[in-house]
Amino acid sequence: MKWYVRIWDRRTKKYLVKSTGEDSSIKARAVAQELALSMLRSEPVIESRFTFRHFALKLLHKSRLQGKAGDRSDGYVKSIHWAVQNEDWGLLRHFGEMDVRTLKTNTYQDYITDLGKKRPDLASSSKNTLMAAFRNVLKIARDEGVIDNIPATPRVKIKDNPRPFFRFAPLVAKDDDAYQKLLKAVKQMAGQGVQVRGLMVDDEFYDLLLFLTHSFVRPIMSELYAIKHADVAVANDPRRLIVTVRDGKTGFRAANTMEAAVSVYERIRQRHPTAKPDDYIFYPHWANRTTASSMVQRLFNEVLRKSELEIDAVTGKTHTLYSLRHTAICMRIINSHGKVNIFNLAKNAGTSVDQIERFYAKYLPLSKEMAKNLQSFGE
């Protein structure tokens, strides 16, 4: 039996498998070492200033400065670092030692093809994030005069999936109203004194869920769990809260809530009468907001389990606290009978018209009033 050698080719990013022609393992090992050395000697020496790594590190530094200056969101900076530095299949791992002057469209396409084999579950949006980071690295090389053009990198087509939310009347019959079923379950569990790891299902938790549904904020560290009393103002005509989201997923915004959120906030003030402007409005005793977020999610998961609402029957996806934000947006579209201004809704929710149309409106049926509007002939 002849021994085979397998050697990693840094240039092609593939293994070279070749017979040594030797029966002896000792002689085969010597042949393998000689083959590896010959491959190294044949590789052209690339000056570090022309490598992909050189410009990728510059991009990382640039993104950090943009984040500190407030020119880019934390989400953008994190996505850039994720795409470049992922240890398993990030851009640095694949392209790091390559000469940017030799990168072509097919070089990038081979990377995406190999990535699809390694991670068939990777979403199209994630692949597009990698593509954007790849292009940003090469833009720096272009701007410094090292390359003249950036090779074409076609986007991966994204399949839009509807967001899971709690169906509500009149979208469904009152008996099938999942949102009301959720709230009822919380009230019942609060009355029974249910606890999860020492944290009660109580009125504060109930109000947090209502606040999410009527404020359009995201249940994340930089939005819901970052809101302090100084960030909340009660306004009239119409009755609402104006919530200052200082560093949300899409940056700064002032979110106008629905009227129901005012009652929630009034109960919060009664619950914490000595609260200071710099205190958090929800679970202020948890200084570690990551801990607060984790505990709330555990409570929510227990409510979903006991109320048998863990899965959205329509999309087949698992409900999370985010489902309440999705519910809030869908409620505005349905309960306004299609009259809500989508641009205002998107701006208030810290998203885009495109996102509203792709992930929400597209999957909602026409209401009776919207159908009448469709068939109208003007005044």
CATH at 232: 1.10.443.10
How many CA atoms within 13 Å lie on the side-chain side of 343? Answer: 0
φ, ψ for residue 374, nearest 5 deg: -65, -35
Amino acid at the residue 232: V
232 within some domain: yes
Residue pair 180/134 in contact (Cβ under 8 Å)? The answer is no
Query: What own/partner pairs with CB < 8 Å and gap ≥ 24 does 257-262 have?
Result: 257/211, 257/214, 257/215, 257/216, 258/214, 258/215, 258/328, 259/214, 260/210, 260/213, 260/214, 261/210, 261/211, 261/214, 261/215, 262/234
360 within some domain: yes
Poorest-pLDDT segment among 218-222, 242-246, 317-321, 357-361: 357-361
Alpha helices per DSSP H over 119-177: 124-143
Same domain, 63 and 39: no
148 within some domain: no
Question: Cα Rg for the chain, rounded, in angstroms?
Answer: 28
Residue pair 276/229 in contact (Cβ under 8 Å)? The answer is yes
Model confidence at 361, pLDDT cuts 50, 70, 90, reads confident
Query: Which among 92, 122, 143 is the end of a domain?
Result: 143
Residue pair 286/164 in contact (Cβ under 8 Å)? The answer is no
Q: What is the pLDDT of residue 40?
A: 52
Same domain, 186 and 136: no
Q: What is the pLDDT of residue 377?
A: 61
Hey, what are 155's tokens? 């986007």
Nearest Cα residue to 356 out of 331, 337, 374: 331
164 within some domain: no
Q: Which residue has the higher pLDDT, 163 or 263?
A: 263
Residue pair 255/215 in contact (Cβ under 8 Å)? The answer is yes
State the Cα–Cα distance between residues 372 and 341, nearest whole angstrom.
18
**Which class for 347: exposed (0-12), middle (13-18), buried (19 or more C-beta within 10 A)?**
middle
Residue pair 232/241 in contact (Cβ under 8 Å)? The answer is yes
Hey, what are 69's tokens? 């200056």
133 within some domain: yes
Same domain, 239 and 356: yes
Same domain, 254 and 184: yes
φ, ψ for residue 279, nearest 5 deg: -85, 145
Q: How many folded domains does the chain comprise?
A: 3
Q: What is the pLDDT of residue 378?
A: 56
How many angstroms separate the Cα of 282 from the Cα of each of 84, 211, 219, 289? 36, 10, 12, 10
**pLDDT above 70 (res 6):** no
State the Cα–Cα distance between residues 137 and 153, nearest whole angstrom.
13
For the whole model, what pTM was predicted?
Answer: 0.65
How many angstroms separate the Cα of 153 from the Cα of each of 64, 111, 121, 321? 25, 11, 21, 36
Same domain, 202 and 348: yes
Other residues' Cβ atoms within 10 Å of the Cβ of residue 108: 22
State the Cα–Cα distance between residues 57 and 49, nearest whole angstrom.
11
What is the maximum span of the chain, computed from C-alpha positions, in angstroms?
94
**pLDDT above 60 (res 102):** yes
Q: What is the pLDDT of residue 376?
A: 56
159 within some domain: no
167 within some domain: no
Q: What is the arithmetic mean of pLDDT over 157-175? A: 82
Q: What is the pLDDT of residue 277?
A: 96
Same domain, 111 and 245: no
Specify which of 3-12, 68-77, 365-374 reaches the highest per-range mean pLDDT. 68-77
Q: What is the pLDDT of residue 118?
A: 84
Same domain, 198 and 297: yes
299 within some domain: yes
Write out pLDDT tens, residues 261-305.
999 999 999 999 999 999 999 999 999 999 999 999 999 999 999
**pLDDT above 80 (res 7):** no
Domain containing 76 equals 49-143
Same domain, 219 and 109: no
Same domain, 62 and 21: no
**pLDDT above 90 (res 60):** yes
Model confidence at 314, pLDDT cuts 50, 70, 90, reads confident
φ, ψ for residue 152, nearest 5 deg: -65, 135
Place of tokens 């999942």: 178
Question: What average pLDDT does the structure give for the chain?
Answer: 86
Same domain, 240 and 342: yes
Same domain, 321 and 207: yes
State the Cα–Cα distance between residues 136 and 335, nearest whole angstrom.
43
Write out pLDDT tens, residues 239-270.
999 999 998 888 889 999 999 999 999 999 99
State the Cα–Cα distance between residues 21 and 8, nearest whole angstrom.
19
Q: What is the pLDDT of residue 339?
A: 80
Same domain, 264 and 361: yes
